Amino acid sequence: MNPLFFPNYEEEQIMQFIQKYCRNDFALIRITPTMLNKSIIDASEMFRIILKDSCIIDYDTLTNKVFDKTYLFLKDKIKEIKTSFYTANTRKDPRFWIYALKNYISVDTLIYFTTHESKLIAIPLIDNDNLETLLVNIFGERDKDKAIIKELCDKLQDIKNRGWIESVSPNKLNPKDVGETLEAALGIKPNTLISADYKGEIELKAKRADSKTKDTLFSMIPNWDISEIKGSNEMILTYGYPSNKEKYKGYKDLYVTVSTTPNPQGLYMGIDYENEVIFQRYSNGKINKDVCVWEFEKVKEKLYTKHPKTMWLLAENKKINEKINFKYNKVTLTQRPIFSQFLSLIEQGILTYDWRGRVREDGTGYKDKGHCFRISPKYRNLLFGETKEIKL
């Protein structure tokens, strides 16, 4: 994403309010003097994707100028405005124009473009006392189906009332035990399902209250079939380092975080909107080469399947009779992440990827703790929109 299109704090607050009513993918475009003076707006990669996915316009097959409507939010109403979609010059640059836009929008306004029922919606991220009314007119009232949430909250209340609960691994404090102990208390058997933990509708994420680690969103390896590196073993052998643990002598480790700038292993990540992949590459300042990729559609499916609703729980821990016990006190609810925001957060370096594994130098003895996408809890609201603290 063009850094010019990154929202400031006030614009982020309006975005989060919009996302209480609309959880569809979106694109951000900040209006420049050139756009208004020349009546031209470049159709960004994400803008083109949301139009194509909503069956409005497919720029890949566009040959002639096409006209449709944009539903533009004004201060007190929603105005239907004629809009042209086309490709310009020999390079076939994708562009569009909302007619008479300069009559309604000023320079530097950031516009939130989304879709609904095959309609293009444009919402200026500016103060608007009527915004909620306009949102309801287009998207309807907020989701009021709270039955599954209440059901789980009642069970969590029962667990809290029980007080301290002995860990599934009472003799050693392991990070994963917080979640596994909670699942055992809820009667959820250990599994490797790709769907959410509780009845396929609510994901459970638990960790210790004093933990400073990021939230793990989900584990997902790249598509090795279309990557330069062809497997997790090869990834660790190529970019890992000798293990510094005596019992893993002869192993290579790769426990690193990958973001938008090269880490000590030379790995960095980014977004290729044209080919619709998340990529990781290697750079040492002189050499820059491809490493691996994740396809948009597969990541999007995993994100939506794993996090339709998510309960984030914090637990205290202490030893009772030399056994580790947990008490679950704090619960936060999030719902329906937005994939386009997932991509934007990667570009901003907020959402990262962790490699967490080791393998012997001869390629045998592979072990991993789940290579995964992660985000700091303080940025959780940027991916999920509204977050709600639940009192038990």
Rounded Cα distance between 2 and 73, Å, is: 23
Which amino acid would we find at residue 133?
T
pLDDT at 174 over 90: no
Tell me the pLDDT band of 144, cut-offs 50, 70 and 90: low
Rounded Cα distance between 237 and 301, Å, is: 29
251 exposed, middle or buried (CB, 10 Å; 0-12, 13-18, 19+)?
buried
Question: Do 47 and 186 fall into the same domain?
Answer: no
Note whether 346 and 270 are within 8 A (CB). Answer: yes
pLDDT at 179 over 60: yes
Question: Do 30 and 128 fall into the same domain?
Answer: yes
Rounded Cα distance between 162 and 352, Å, is: 37
State percent of the chain over pLDDT 90: 82
- Cβ partners under 8 Å of residue 127, min gap 6: 14
pLDDT of residue 193: 64
Beta bridge partners of 29: 111
Residue 364: CATH number of its domain: 3.30.70.3570
Tell me the pLDDT band of 143, cut-offs 50, 70 and 90: low
**What is the residue-averaged pLDDT of the chain?**
93
* Buried residues in 114-146 as b, exposed as e (16+ CB within 10 A): bbeeeebbbbbbbebeebeebbeebbeeeeeee
Beta bridge partners of 215: 375
- Of 59-63, 108-112, 147-151, 239-243, which range is least confident? 147-151
Domain count for the chain, please give it. 2
Domain assignment of residue 52, given as a range = 3-139
Rounded Cα distance between 303 and 328, Å, is: 25
pLDDT digits (tens, 9 = 90+) for 44-96: 999 999 999 999 999 999 989 999 999 999 999 999 999 999 998 878 899 99
Question: Do 230 and 301 fall into the same domain?
Answer: yes
pLDDT at 294 over 70: yes
pLDDT of residue 97: 97
pLDDT of residue 260: 97
| Tokens of residue 130, six digits | 């009527």
Tell me the pLDDT band of 285, cut-offs 50, 70 and 90: confident
Question: Do 188 and 132 fall into the same domain?
Answer: no
User: Which of 89, 116, 139 marks a domain boundary?
Assistant: 139
Question: Do 223 and 121 fall into the same domain?
Answer: no
pLDDT at 134 over 80: yes
pLDDT of residue 142: 67
CB atoms within 10 A of CB 348: 15
User: Which of 110, 139, 168 marks a domain boundary?
Assistant: 139
Tell me the pLDDT band of 145, cut-offs 50, 70 and 90: low
Question: Do 114 and 250 fall into the same domain?
Answer: no
Question: Do 84 and 178 fall into the same domain?
Answer: no
- Cβ partners under 8 Å of residue 28, min gap 6: 1, 5, 6, 7, 46, 110, 111, 112, 113, 344
Question: Do 176 and 296 fall into the same domain?
Answer: yes
- Cβ partners under 8 Å of residue 360, min gap 6: 250, 251, 252
User: Which of 84, 113, 139 marks a domain boundary?
Assistant: 139
How distant is the alpha carbon of residue 302 from its chain centre? 10
pLDDT of residue 94: 96
Question: Do 95 and 179 fall into the same domain?
Answer: no
- Of 42-46, 88-92, 224-228, 283-287, which range is least confident? 88-92
pLDDT digits (tens, 9 = 90+) for 312-349: 999 999 999 999 999 998 999 998 899 999 999 999 99
Write phi, then psi, for 45 (nearest 5 degrees). Answer: -60, -45
* Averaged pLDDT, 5-24: 91
Write phi, then psi, for 59 (nearest 5 degrees). Answer: -65, -20
pLDDT of residue 175: 86
pLDDT at 20 over 80: yes
DSSP 231-270: SHHHHHHHH-EE--SGGGTTEEEEEEEE-SS--TTSEEEE
State percent of the chain over pLDDT 70: 98
Rounded Cα distance between 189 and 174, Å, is: 18
Write phi, then psi, for 49 (nearest 5 degrees). Answer: -65, -45
pLDDT digits (tens, 9 = 90+) for 350-389: 999 999 999 999 999 999 999 999 999 999 989 987 788 9
* Averaged pLDDT, 204-220: 93
Residue 101: CATH number of its domain: 2.40.330
Q: What is the rounded radius of gyration, in angstroms, for the C-alpha atoms of the chain?
A: 24
